[in-house]
Amino acid sequence: MNEPQPLCPPGAGIPQVQPVVSFDFFMPHDHGVIAAAVASALDTYHQALGPDSGRLTTTWDADGEPSELTPADWEDLRERLRAAPADDFVDDLPKDSIWFDILTRRGFDANVRLTGGESDSNGYEFRYRSRLPWRNPNARMLSVLSIQVPLRFLEVQGATRLRELALELAGALPFSTGHAGLSFVSSRGFRKAIPLLKTELFRNPGWAVPTAGTAMDMGAHVDGIHWLNFLGPPLLETVGGIPALRSHLKHPETTVQELTGGRALISLGPAPLAGDTKLGETLPAYRELARFLEPWLLPFATCHTWDGYTEEETRHWWRRFLEAPPEPVSNPRDG
């Protein structure tokens, strides 16, 4: 069977928009707990890129300033991640200290961001931010790991290899949720790019809007439905575990795979699909999973309304797998 390919990449013809496959993991843990697992994911990503590993050229500091990524930077980064001690609690810092002020203002602890350039993205990115280590952390706050490869990676290596990479990246990550699927990046920035993509996003529901960089306060929610969907503790137990998933998800292309550490992977078909609502391609497997996970899906809030969209338009896209799909456009030559 030929693997289906995604249709209509978002922003086709817009130089500043790059279609990618994104792997995102959300972890309810402080940096000291997950640093070694994140270091392992970085090694996995670097090795998977092979000859393309040289396309990661830029590292960014916590203030968002870029610099050239050198071999020494790679080694320093790996050592810092692997040797991370248990976190010192923010509570223990003097409240009038500069460091307390810096941490609480920026809202994260460890920060790693590697990209394929300072301006125009080539689709390669590794980004990790850990939550602030409080003695009694806010249950909504998460550490987030987001990894991207350009769509060319899927086209050249195939969806089977992409799925293998997702599992390798998941490795020992103690995620509560995670996913992999079609997304995009933009050198214009999200707020400037999103108004340009309205037609593609409404027509092709399989394309996701990137959220990992701003989803550190997502709590025990799922940020959407994607080609590959990871569930871990405590969410997997809350939804009823592996038996509940297998009992409720009946679409023939949906598979549920049990992973170690009380985790699971739900795959919605052999390859990521964009869908085309004008042709009646409404992604029924995605809709079935959305209906099952609806109580745990991140709810729409008016603050999520995008520039260039009405509140109702943004809400409709947010709930695109829960609301009735549009009728396909008939072809006058049919029949």
Q: For the range 286-289, what are the long-range contacts, defined as Cβ-Cβ under 8 Å and sequence gap of 24 or more?
A: 286/205, 286/206, 286/225, 286/321, 287/321, 287/322, 287/325, 288/248, 288/249, 288/250, 288/251, 288/254, 289/225, 289/229, 289/249, 289/254, 289/321
**Structure confidence at residue 334 (pLDDT):** 46
| Per-residue pLDDT tens over the stretch 107-116 | 898 899 999 8
So what's the pLDDT on residue 307? 87
* Local confidence band at 12 (pLDDT 50, 70, 90 cut-offs): low
- Report percent pLDDT > 90 for the chain: 59
Residues 36-80 pLDDT 10s: 999 999 999 999 999 998 899 999 988 889 999 999 998 888 888
Confidence of residue 9 (pLDDT cuts 50, 70, 90): low
Rounded CA separation 102/107 (Å): 8
| In contact, 62 and 111? CB cutoff 8 Å | yes
pLDDT over 90 (residue 227): yes
Q: Which range has the worst mean pLDDT, 64-68, 125-129, 188-192, 295-299?
A: 188-192
User: How long is the chain?
Assistant: 335
Percent of the chain with pLDDT over 70: 88
| Cα end-to-end span (Å), the chain | 29
Band of residue 260 on the pLDDT scale cut at 50, 70, 90: very high
Report which of residues 183 and 4 the model is more confident about.
183
Residues 238, 28: Cα–Cα separation, whole Å: 15
- The bridge status of strand 58-60 relative to strand 17-27 is unpaired
Higher pLDDT, 96 or 15: 96
Domain ranges (residues) in the chain: 17-318
Tokens 């809400």: give the residue: 315
Highest mean pLDDT among 76-90, 139-153, 244-258: 244-258
Residue bearing tokens 């947010």? 318
Alpha carbon of 149 to those of 17, 308, 334: distances in Å?
Answer: 14, 28, 39
Pairs from 305-310 (Cβ < 8 Å, separation ≥ 24): 306/191, 306/194, 306/195, 307/191, 307/192, 307/194, 307/195, 308/194, 308/195, 308/198, 309/194, 309/195, 309/198
- Exposed/middle/buried for 138, CB within 10 Å: 0-12, 13-18, 19+? exposed
Residue 116: what residue type?
G
Query: What is the predicted pLDDT for the residue at 87?
Result: 63
Q: Please give the pLDDT value at position 13.
A: 60
- Which pLDDT value is given to residue 5? 44
d(CA 122, CA 68): 15
- Render 74-103 in DSSP notation, one character per residue: HHHHHHHHHT--PPPPGGGS-TTSHHHHHH
Mean pLDDT, range 288-297, rounded to an integer: 97
Separation of alpha carbons 266 and 239, rounded Å: 13
As a whole number, the mean pLDDT across the chain is 88
Residue 331: its pLDDT value, please?
A: 47
Name which residue leads in pLDDT, 118 or 9: 118
Strand partners, 276: 281
pLDDT in tens, 142-199: 999 999 999 999 999 999 999 999 999 999 899 999 999 999 888 767 778 888 888 8
